[in-house]
C-alpha cells in the first residue's frame, strides 16, 4: 500500500481557514494498530523471502545509509519495500540530482525525522546547562522506492565477501563475542534476568537453522537489557503490561538483526495475548511505538557490533547525531528517532 504525502488538516472558522499541523505520532500509531488488528504485526514479515532472495534493511539509494528506528517499520509496511528485492529509497530531490526521474503519478511514502528545537531561558546565566531546552519535534518527508524511479541503476545485492556478516556462522560469532551465557536443554527458549543466562532447546528441535538462529537472536535481544548492558527498566518490572512492552522491543529488534544478517525465516513465539497488550499500549500512548522502535534499534546496534566485520563496515558511517545540532538537511536521511 503506497502512502500519500501527509498534509495539514484545516478548519474554517469565521470565514478564515486555520491550518492544523498533522499529528505524525498518531498517524503512525493508527497504521500499526490497524495492522495488529488485522492479525499481522507489520515487523514480523515485511518481505517475501521467496521473491526477494532474502531480507534487507531499507536504505537510501544515494548515500547507502540504512534507515533506522520507526522508518524501518513504516517503509517495511509498504508493498513496494521488498516486492522486488530492492531495499533502496530516495527523495525526489535526491533522485533528480542523480539524473533519475520519479515517474509521473507515483505516490510517495512518508518517512520521519526529529528536528531539535532549542529554547533559551534568559533568566538563567550563560553557560548554565539548564539554560537551553532542546525539544524534539517530529517532522515528515517523502520518499520514493527504487521501483518508482526511472534511470536508477539495477540493484545488486551484496555478496558474502562484501557483507561477511550475512554468512551462516554470523549468529555464532555474535554469541561468542558477546560472552552471553547460553544453556542448552528443555523445550523452552527464554532469557532469565535472575541468572543472566539464555536457555535454548537443542538445535535439532528446530525445523531450520534459520529458525534456531532467529529464536536465539530474540532471546539475546532480551539479554541486551541487562544492567551491565543497555539496562532496560522493563526487564526489572514483573507486570504483564511491562513484559509485553519488553517483548515488543525484542520482536522488532530481532527483525532488524535478522534482516541485517540475511536470516530469511524469522520465527516469533508471541501470540494473541501479547498482541492484545500491544494494542492497549498503543491506543493509550501514541508515542509508544516510537519508543519501542528506538529501543529496538539500540538492541540491533548493540548485537550487531559484536560481529567484527559489521562493526568495521560501520566505522566510516557519519555520526548518527551529526545533523542534530541544528536544522536538518531536508533531503538527508532522517535523524535516529529517540525516545
Q: Is the pLDDT of residue 177 over 90?
A: yes
Within a domain: 3: no
Within a domain: 339: no
Contacts of 233 (CB under 8 A, 6+ apart): none
Within a domain: 338: no
Judged by average pLDDT, the poorest of 41-45, 158-162, 331-335 is 331-335
Within a domain: 300: yes
| DSSP 8-state secondary structure symbol assigned to residue 226 | S
Within a domain: 332: no
Say how many domains are in the chain. Answer: 1
Contacts of 13 (CB under 8 A, 6+ apart): none
The tens digit of pLDDT for each residue in 200-221 reads 999 999 988 999 999 999 999 9
Cell numbers for 263? 536470516
Residue 334 pLDDT level (bands cut at 50, 70, 90): very low
The tens digit of pLDDT for each residue in 113-165 reads 888 777 776 666 666 666 677 777 888 999 999 999 999 999 988 889 999 99
Q: Is the pLDDT of residue 60 over 70?
A: yes
Q: Specify the pLDDT at position 271.
A: 64
Q: Specify the pLDDT at position 23.
A: 86
Of all residues in the chain, the percent with pLDDT exceeding 70 is: 76
Segments in 40-161 forming alpha helices (H): 49-52, 70-76, 80-83, 92-97
Judged by average pLDDT, the poorest of 17-26, 49-58, 62-71, 93-102 is 49-58
Within a domain: 182: yes
Q: Is the pLDDT of residue 316 over 70?
A: no
Within a domain: 301: yes
Mean pLDDT, all residues of the chain: 81
Q: How far is residue 198's CA from residue 221's CA, in Å, rounded to a whole number?
A: 10
Taking CB atoms within 8 Å and a gap of at least 24, the contacts of 270-273 are 273/244
Q: How far is residue 339's CA from residue 329's CA, in Å, rounded to a whole number?
A: 21
pTM score = 0.82
The answer to whether the CB of 178 falls within 8 A of the CB of 117 is no
Judged by average pLDDT, the poorest of 201-215, 225-239, 270-284 is 270-284
Q: Specify the pLDDT at position 77.
A: 83
Enclosing domain of residue 61: 9-324
Q: How far is residue 37's CA from residue 216's CA, in Å, rounded to a whole number?
A: 28
Range 139-150 burial, b when 16+ CB lie within 10 A, else e: bbbbbbbbebbe
The tens digit of pLDDT for each residue in 79-92 reads 786 566 788 999 99
Cell numbers for 306? 559484536
Within a domain: 331: no
Q: Calculate mean pLDDT across residues 193-197.
A: 95
Amino acid at each position: 500500500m503506497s502512502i500519500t504525502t501527509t498534509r495539514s488538516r484545516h478548519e474554517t472558522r469565521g470565514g478564515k481557514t486555520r491550518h492544523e499541523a498533522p499529528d505524525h505520532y498518531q498517524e503512525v500509531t493508527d497504521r500499526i494498530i490497524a495492522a495488529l488488528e488485522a492479525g499481522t504485526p507489520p515487523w514480523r514479515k515485511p518481505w517475501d523471502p521467496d521473491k526477494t532472495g532474502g531480507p534487507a534493511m531499507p536504505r537510501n539509494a544515494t548515500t547507502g545509509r540504512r534507515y533506522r528506528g520507526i522508518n524501518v517499520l513504516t517503509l517495511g509496511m509498504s508493498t513496494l519495500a521488498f516486492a522486488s528485492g530492492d531495499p533502496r529509497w530516495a527523495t525526489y530531490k535526491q533522485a533528480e540530482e542523480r539524473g533519475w526521474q520519479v515517474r509521473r503519478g507515483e505516490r510517495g511514502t512518508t518517512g520521519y525525522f526529529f528536528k531539535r528545537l532549542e529554547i533559551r531561558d534568559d533568566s538563567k546565566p550563560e553557560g548554565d546547562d539548564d539554560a537551553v531546552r532542546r525539544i524534539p519535534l517530529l517532522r515528515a518527508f517523502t520518499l520514493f522506492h527504487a521501483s518508482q524511479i526511472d534511470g536508477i541503476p539495477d540493484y545488486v545485492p551484496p555478496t558474502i565477501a562484501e557483507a561477511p556478516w550475512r554468512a551462516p556462522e554470523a549468529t555464532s560469532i555474535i554469541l561468542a563475542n558477546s560472552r552471553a551465557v547460553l544453556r542448552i536443554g528443555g523445550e523452552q527458549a527464554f532469557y532469565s534476568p535472575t541468572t543472566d543466562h539464555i536457555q535454548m532447546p537443542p538445535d535439532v528441535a528446530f525445523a531450520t537453522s534459520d529458525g534456531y538462529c532467529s529464536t536465539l537472536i530474540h532471546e539475546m535481544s532480551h539479554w541486551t537489557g541487562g544492567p551491565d548492558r543497555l539496562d532496560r527498566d522493563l526487564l526489572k518490572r514483573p507486570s504483564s503490561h511491562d513484559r509485553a512492552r519488553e517483548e515488543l522491543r525484542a520482536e522488532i529488534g530481532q527483525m532488524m538483526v535478522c534482516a541485517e544478517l540475511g536470516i530469511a525465516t524469522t520465527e516469533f513465539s508471541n501470540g494473541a495475548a501479547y498482541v492484545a497488550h500491544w494494542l492497549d499500549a498503543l491506543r493509550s500512548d501514541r508515542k509508544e511505538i516510537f519508543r519501542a522502535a528506538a529501543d529496538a534499534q539500540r538492541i540491533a546496534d548493540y548485537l550487531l557490533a559484536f560481529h567484527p566485520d559489521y562493526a568495521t563496515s560501520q566505522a566510516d558511517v557519519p555520526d548518527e547525531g551529526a545533523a542534530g545540532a541544528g536544522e536538518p538537511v531536508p533531503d538527508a536521511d532522517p535523524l535516529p528517532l529517540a525516545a
